[in-house]
Amino acid sequence: MIAITSAAATVFAAASLTGVFPKIDQGARFSFGGSDQLALQIRQGAPADVYASASPKFAELLYREGLLRKPVVFATNRLAVLVPRSNPAGIHTVYDLRRSGLRVVLGDRTVPIGSYTRQLLDAIGITEEVMKNAVSQETDVKGIVAKVALGEADAGFAYVTDAKPVAKKVRLIALPAWAQPPIRYEIAVVKAAPHPAAARAFVKRVLSRRGRAVLKAAGFGLPR
- Asked whether residue 98 is domain-assigned, the answer is yes
Q: Are 148 and 210 in a shared domain?
A: no
Give me the pLDDT at residue 224, please: 82
Residue 6 clears pLDDT 80, i.e. is over it: no
What are the residues whose beta carbons fall under 8 Å from the beta carbon of 131, sequence distance 6 or more?
121
Question: Computed from CA positions of residues 154, 158, 160, 164, in that sequence, does the dihedral angle turn out positive or negative?
Answer: negative
Q: Where are the alpha helices (DSSP H) in the chain?
A: 2-6, 21-24, 35-43, 56-64, 112-124, 127-132, 141-149, 196-207, 209-217
Q: Are 200 and 173 in a shared domain?
A: no
Q: Are 120 and 212 in a shared domain?
A: no
- Angle CA 166–135–140, to nearest 5: 50
The predicted model gives 58-70 an average pLDDT of 97
Residue 5 clears pLDDT 50, i.e. is over it: no
Q: H helices then E strands: how many in the chain? A: 9, 10
Question: Computed from CA positions of residues 109, 111, 115, 118, in that sequence, does the dihedral angle turn out positive or negative?
Answer: negative
Residue 19 clears pLDDT 90, i.e. is over it: yes
Give me the pLDDT at residue 201, please: 97
Q: Are 145 and 131 in a shared domain?
A: yes
- Asked whether residue 222 is domain-assigned, the answer is no
- Asked whether residue 190 is domain-assigned, the answer is yes
Domain hosting 168: range is 79-179
Q: Are 175 and 85 in a shared domain?
A: yes
Q: What pTM value is reported for the model? A: 0.91
Residue 2 clears pLDDT 90, i.e. is over it: no
Q: Are 84 and 141 in a shared domain?
A: yes
Encode pLDDT of 169-224 as tens digits. Answer: 999 999 999 999 999 999 999 999 999 999 999 999 999 999 999 999 999 999 98
- Asked whether residue 94 is domain-assigned, the answer is yes
- Asked whether residue 224 is domain-assigned, the answer is no
Q: Are 69 and 111 in a shared domain?
A: no
Q: Are 84 and 70 in a shared domain?
A: no
Burial 158-188, CB ≥16 within 10 A → b, else e: bbbbbbeebeebbbebebeeeebbebbbbbb
Domain harbouring 192, CATH code: 3.40.190.10
Residue 122 clears pLDDT 70, i.e. is over it: yes
Give me the pLDDT at residue 1, please: 38
Q: How many domains does the chain have?
A: 2
